[in-house]
Amino acid sequence: MNCLDFRRAVLSDPRQADGERLAHAASCAACRVFAERQADLDNRLFDAMRVEVPDGLADRVLVAQGPRRRRTPWIWALAASVVLATGVALLVPPGLAGERLAREAAMHAEEEKESFRARQVAAPGFLQAVLADQGVRLAVSMGEVTYARLCPLAGNTARHIVITTPDGPVTLFLLPTDDQRRRRAEIATGGMTAIAMPAGRGSIAIVAANPELARALERALAQA
Ligand SMILES: [Zn+2]
Ligand SMILES: [Zn+2]
């Protein structure tokens, strides 16, 4: 492994070191220093990104790197951008990630007005089948599925489902492939209540006109 390959490897994954990398670092002082600085920058970015990322963090990180940046400008710019690009989404704290999903779900439900007017009839067993994809089931029947389609939500694909209950419509968003860790979050916005929660697989969001209805659906969802 030569110096260039070593540095590329460090930039693409600062936290992992295989035998080849270790051997090069042991024999090349310049690359050893490079790897140490990169690990240090990576750790500080990691710490910085454990809190909510404010706009312009990347710029400020680069400014904070001022003296080093002058010495090796492209390396640091590249390092920071690589870490930011790969780190941000995964490092959003679960509580915040839950709240974001709840907000996006509420906004999405509000905007898709036709979802409340639709009177599609889902095949029997449809709801239990899509819930089973996420390791959950509906312990009590809430009503009829009157709308179901695939929608983009929270950078993922969600099943957007409306269940018409005797107390009004409840919207359910199923994200079986969501790999973001999200803690349960409940928010009230625009006269609606939205709950986001982790499922056996992926995440689920519930939107209803009031907290009682949203929580009733949440309680009805049991582990499969
Ligand atoms: Zn080297
Ligand atoms: Zn939708």
Q: Which CATH number is 105's domain given?
A: 3.40.1000
The residue from 65, 91, 117 where one domain ends is: 91
Distance 107 CA to ligand 2 centre (A): 10
Which backbone phi and psi does 52 adopt, to 5 degrees?
-60, 135
Structure confidence at residue 11 (pLDDT): 75
Distance 219 CA to ligand 2 centre (A): 23
Q: Following CA atoms 177, 223, 106, 192 in sequence, which dihedral angle do they give, to the nearest 10 degrees?
A: 180
Please say whether the beta carbons of 31 and 14 come within 8 A: no
69: pLDDT strictly greater than 50: no
Q: Whose atoms come closest to the Cα of 158: which ligand?
A: 2
pLDDT band at 44 (very low <50, low <70, confident <90, very high): low
Q: Whose atoms come closest to the Cα of 114: which ligand?
A: 2
Distance CA 41, CA 45 (A): 6
pLDDT tens digit string along 130-151? 999 999 999 998 999 999 988 8
The secondary structure of the chain, three-state, reads CCHHHHHHHHHHCCCCCCHHHHHHHHHCHHHHHHHHHHHHHHHHHHHHCCCCCCCCHHHHHHHHCHHHHHHCHHHHHHHHHHHHHHHCHHHCCHHHHHHHHHHHHHHHHHHCCHHHHCCCCCCCCHHHHHHHCCCEEECCCCCEEEEEEEEEECCEEEEEEEEEECCEEEEEEEECCCCCCCCCEEEEECCEEEEEEECCCCEEEEEECCHHHHHHHHHHEEEC
Please say whether the beta carbons of 105 and 153 come within 8 A: yes
Structure confidence at residue 124 (pLDDT): 82
163 shares its domain with 81: no
6: pLDDT strictly greater than 90: no
For the entire predicted model, the pTM comes to: 0.61
Instruction: Provide the number of structural domains found in the chain.
Output: 2
Q: Whose atoms come closest to the Cα of 25: which ligand?
A: 1
141 shares its domain with 205: yes
Distance 211 CA to ligand 2 centre (A): 21
Distance CA 17, CA 26 (A): 12
172: pLDDT strictly greater than 60: yes
68 shares its domain with 99: no
Mean pLDDT, the chain, integer: 81
pLDDT tens digit string along 72-129? 455 555 555 555 555 544 567 888 889 999 999 999 999 999 999 988 888 888 899 9
- Taking residues 198-216, what's their average pLDDT? 96
The CA-to-CA distance between both ends of the chain, in Å, stands at 50
Structure confidence at residue 43 (pLDDT): 66
Domain span at 110? 94-223
Structure confidence at residue 102 (pLDDT): 95
23 shares its domain with 112: no
106 shares its domain with 212: yes
Q: Which two tokens stand for residue 10?
A: 């460090």
